[in-house]
Structure 1
Amino acid sequence: MAKYLEKWAPPGAAWDKDNVGLQVGSKNAKLKNIMLCLELNNEVLQEAINKKCNFIFTHHPLIFLPLKKINIQDDPTSKLIESIIINNITVYSAHTNLDFTKDGVSFALAKKLKLKNIDFLENQEANQFKVAVFVPLDKAEEVAYAAFNAGAGTIGEYDNCSFRSKGIGTFKGSAKSNPTIGKKNTYEKVDELKLEFIVDSWNLNAVISAVLNAHPYEEPAYDVYLLKNKNVNYGMGAIGQLEKELTVDEFLDYVAINLKLKSFRYCSNKNKKIKKVAVCGGSGSDLLAAAINAQADSFITADIKYHVFQKAEGKILLIDAGHYETEIFSLDAVKKKIESFLGNNKSISVFKFSGTTNPIKYY
């Protein structure tokens, strides 16, 4: 299951200080039922045990900071880990990689608000490479598909993307060489194809390894270029449009109803109508400038400080809808993905935790 989740939300896309992926257990355990939650506590674990789940997916990592000791007598996290191990359960987390992926946390929030034409509010950048490799004509497809299968050549909704240009490669092998084409100690000219494709940084080593393994030459020639492109496949936040324009009061009611909010904080903006809406599930205050620059009428996120509201006042309708409240809908997206992965396998059930792990109460 982990490899399917990682194909959608690769750990390499996460914030570099995050701790995503396997938290406790084994990826090789035979899958039974699956429990989904934003964070793991004793209530979630007990429900997972009752429903015979041996795989728990969490958004917030169970282990975020390094554990210095496992003290099952006094430390709640240590006690939880003990119970997880005793019950042969695997815990897996997708945190900022789920935040930054298409159809992840912010996209799920945007869809809950029924936004149209959803895209990233701010794309990640400088995390892609271009790989160029020189291949004899008759081996080009073999090498290309090896690269594609390792993760190269994905641009937005397209995969297997490459550019190809013909040329002539020259070489002269030493007495110790073993050339695939031509003879050693002989200057050779060969019709070759230059294959180029974009690779996300976390797939780079796998792609190069696949290319070298598939390449017929003893010493393949290839180039690797760091790109400054914006990555269309990964980013932060989301932005889209409402089906119809709403007044500010109508939009505030709309947000409360669609996100099932008891209350929320907001500051006024200069616009009397709301059409273009930016969102970021969880703590997204750092994207305020991006939302304003994108000419969004409103920006919905969580954990907003007083001075951030001051910066937004009169410029954009800034709404703090709550951390839990803006992330919980992502579990629906995860459930949909997992059930798609499982296909017709009816022996495995996927459950969302029936309670709430939100520590915040409203008076």
Structure 2
Amino acid sequence: MIVRDVEKIIEDIAPKALAWEKDNVGLQVGSPEKPVHKILLTLDLTEDTIDECINKNIDLVISHHPLIYSPMKSISSADTKGKLIFKLVGNNISLISAHTNLDFTKFGVSYALADKLELKNIKVLKPAETFLKKIIVFVPVDYVEKITEAMALAGAGKIGEYDYCSFRISGIGTFKGSQLSKPFIGVPGELEKVEEIRVEMILPEWKLTDVINAMRASHPYEEPAYDIYPLNNELSEYGAGAIGQYENVISQKKFLQMIKDNLQCEVVKYVDGAQDKIKTVAVCGGSGSSIIHDALNARADAFVTSEISYHSFQQYEGKIMLVDAGHFETEVVILESLANILRAKLAEMKENVQVLVSTKNRNPIKIF
């Protein structure tokens, strides 16, 4: 296995297209062709993390927060980031970042946070929009199943927990090839009328190229006719935050103690909600104040995130319980979760690659 293969696995888990437009995700340092035998997961890349990599013979680090975020005008060993880059390169260690793309995917940061808080029936709080496309292709009757299968395997036709979803309409297709054409049906220069099936399937935009290539490879026509439409449907597997429920109602005090215990928080900041009973809880790992209103609209009793402003606390007091549990504490939970996902995928691929979680992760913020 090489770095490029690991990049592809990360792309399947958390597509780059999900990332915030100003984010920097993917391979940051190293060669995509470098062999990989050991992977280390970390929230932040620090000098301690690199020393850990050296001691454990790590080939590839996957960090949540990007080392290279803003454009760098130079790489100097006198600069903090430059020093880390030099150290990675000097020890032949590659670096991949999975940041906001991992925030906005199912089983990503917010799902891991919800799971850590023991919520059940977890789903995306604010599903993504504008990432869906629809492909419509016109197929001779005898090739419908072959082409539908090829597009499904390439990533089309998935709606929630259902695969191979399509809609089909029969009709008559017409065409007349030039003298240079090589039609599958008919002869050049003559108008042909053929019974065809219109096959419709939806797909995420990052699967579009693969689906078109699969369709073309399985279609008998020299020039397949197909259309691509943008959709504004919600994409339930991707989006911001997560929401779930407890089997039984708990008090605000018990809920706060669970947050402190499960996330190992020294302190949490909060305001009371509309009532003392907590059953439905929304979460967003990292800074999630922008979706407080979505949590309120989803009738959550509480919302757990970090970096909540004074004015947001003031605005929502008595409407929904807001809990600021810390940026580090609400994000570091993804590491063990991601490690388990990667281990399972590598095992399926029969790859002998170790996945470790860094023991050097720490919150740089101290509390007096």
2:299 to 295, 302, 309: 295
Q: Does structure 1 residue 95 correspond to structure 2 residue 99?
A: yes
Identity %: 48
1:192 to 186, 193, 196: 196
Displacement over 4 Å in runs of 4+: 344-347
Q: For 2:155 and 2:91, how far apart are their aligned partners in 1?
A: 35
Instruction: Report the counterpart of residue 16 of structure 1 in structure 2.
Output: 21
Q: For 2:354 and 2:178, how far apart are their aligned partners in 1?
A: 61
1:25-36 correspondence to structure 2 within 5 Å:
25-36=30-41
Cα displacement (A) at 1:114: 0.7
2:210 to 206, 212, 218: 206
Q: Does structure 1 residue 312 correspond to structure 2 residue 339?
A: no
Cα displacement (A) at 1:333: 1.2
Of 11-20 and 46-55, deviating more is 11-20
Instruction: Report the counterpart of residue 50 of structure 1 in structure 2.
Output: 55
TM-score, normalised to structure 2, is 0.95
Letter in 1 for 2:287: S
Structure 1 unaligned regions, length at least 5: none
Letter in 1 for 2:21: D
Cα displacement (A) at 1:213: 3.3
1:170 to 171, 174, 189: 174
Instruction: Report the counterpart of residue 350 of structure 1 in structure 2.
Output: 355
Letter in 2 for 1:11: K
Aligned partners of 1:54 and 1:88 also within 8 Å: yes
Q: For 1:139 and 1:8, how far apart are their aligned partners in 2?
A: 31
Q: For 2:165 and 2:72, how far apart are their aligned partners in 1?
A: 43
Letter in 1 for 2:354: S
Cα displacement (A) at 1:184: 1.4
Letter in 1 for 2:128: Q
1:5 to 1, 6, 10: 10
Q: For 1:69 and 1:39, how far apart are their aligned partners in 2?
A: 21
Aligned partners of 1:155 and 1:233 also within 8 Å: no
Q: For 1:335 and 1:134, how far apart are their aligned partners in 2?
A: 43
Q: For 2:91 and 2:159, how far apart are their aligned partners in 1?
A: 42
Cα displacement (A) at 1:280: 0.3
Q: For 2:149 and 2:113, how far apart are their aligned partners in 1?
A: 36
Q: Secondary structure at the match of 1:197?
A: strand
1:236-315 correspondence to structure 2 within 5 Å:
236-315=240-319
Q: For 2:161 and 2:267, how far apart are their aligned partners in 1?
A: 38
Aligned partners of 2:346 and 2:352 also within 8 Å: no
Q: For 1:58 and 1:161, how far apart are their aligned partners in 2?
A: 35
Letter in 2 for 1:190: V
Q: Does structure 1 residue 220 correspond to structure 2 residue 224?
A: yes
Cα displacement (A) at 1:346: 8.2
Letter in 2 for 1:148: A
Q: For 1:162 and 1:12, how far apart are their aligned partners in 2?
A: 24
The Cα offsets for residues 304-346 of structure 1, whole Å up to 9 and x where unpaired, read as 1111111111111100000010011101111001110221868
1:119 to 116, 119, 123: 123
Aligned partners of 1:173 and 1:183 also within 8 Å: yes
Instruction: Report the counterpart of residue 3 of structure 2 in structure 1.
Output: none
2:154 to 133, 150, 153: 150
Q: Secondary structure at the match of 2:59?
A: strand
Aligned partners of 1:13 and 1:202 also within 8 Å: no
Q: For 2:262 and 2:107, how far apart are their aligned partners in 1?
A: 18
Q: Secondary structure at the match of 1:193?
A: strand
Cα displacement (A) at 1:6: 1.2
Cα displacement (A) at 1:219: 1.9
Cα displacement (A) at 1:215: 2.1
Change in 2 beyond 3 A, CA 1:32/1:152? same
Q: For 1:130 and 1:320, how far apart are their aligned partners in 2?
A: 40
Instruction: Report the counterpart of residue 76 of structure 2 in structure 1.
Output: 71
Instruction: Report the counterpart of residue 159 of structure 1 in structure 2.
Output: 163
Letter in 2 for 1:7: D
Aligned partners of 1:61 and 1:93 also within 8 Å: yes
Letter in 1 for 2:221: Y
Letter in 1 for 2:230: L
Q: Secondary structure at the match of 1:148?
A: helix
Q: For 1:346 and 1:120, how far apart are their aligned partners in 2?
A: 31
Aligned partners of 1:101 and 1:233 also within 8 Å: yes
Aligned partners of 2:111 and 2:241 also within 8 Å: yes
Q: For 1:178 and 1:356, how far apart are their aligned partners in 2?
A: 62
Cα displacement (A) at 1:347: 4.5
Q: For 1:16 and 1:202, how far apart are their aligned partners in 2?
A: 15
Aligned partners of 2:44 and 2:361 also within 8 Å: no
Letter in 1 for 2:24: N
